[in-house]
Amino acid sequence: GQNIDQPTEMTATEGAIVQINCTYQTSGFNGLFWYQQHAGEAPTFLSYNVLDGLEEKGRFSSFLSRSKGYSYLLLKELQMKDSASYLCAVRSMDSNYQLIWGAGTKLIIKP
């Protein structure tokens, strides 16, 4: 079956670095997405990985290892506004190219 796992909650300090992990077991892998979702708001796109390696975009980076079924989202120079849920999603060719979603990781930033 299709399954995505990520930690339920993480806490980090303002100005620090945090890594949010995501592991997946899916068939027909066709890309991995990270979305940010602030409380009461819709998810917004952060990053997309389809090949192995690191994709960097400002303070945020995302890494993918397809052989290990593993990804992480790295957030640097944390700001209070980064407090949100971070959703990992995998696109599957075997599911009409739909995104299969993890439950999200709630990130709490402390001063």
Partner 1 sequence: EAGVAQSPRYKIIEKRQSVAFWCNPISGHATLYWYQQILGQGPKLLIQFQNNGVVDDSQLPKDRFSAERLKGVDSTLKIQPAKLEDSAVYLCASSLARQGDGYTFGSGTRLTVV
Q: What is the dihedral of CA 109, 103, 73, 35, to 10 degrees?
A: -90
Q: Which of 40, 53, 58, 111: binder of partner 1 (CB under 8 A)?
A: 40
Q: Which of 69, 104, 107, 109: binder of partner 1 (CB under 8 A)?
A: 104
Among positions 1-30, residues that touch partner 1 (CB under 8 A) are 4, 30
Told to check if 111 binds partner 1 by CB under 8 A, we report: no
Closest approach of Cβ 102 to partner 1, in Å?
5
Residue type, 59: R
What distance in Å separates the CA atoms of residue 7 and residue 23, rounded to the nearest whole number?
10
Told to check if 87 binds partner 1 by CB under 8 A, we report: yes
| Smaller CB separation from partner 1, 14 or 94 | 94
DSSP 3-state assignment of 93?
A: helix
CB 75 within 8 A of CB 9: no
What distance in Å separates the CA atoms of residue 111 and residue 95, rounded to the nearest whole number?
42
CB 99 within 8 A of CB 35: no
Q: Which of 20, 64, 78, 89: binder of partner 1 (CB under 8 A)?
A: 89
Closest approach of Cβ 15 to partner 1, in Å?
28
Q: Can you give the binding site for partner 1, defined by CB under 8 A? A: 4, 30, 33, 40-45, 48, 87, 89, 95-99, 101-104
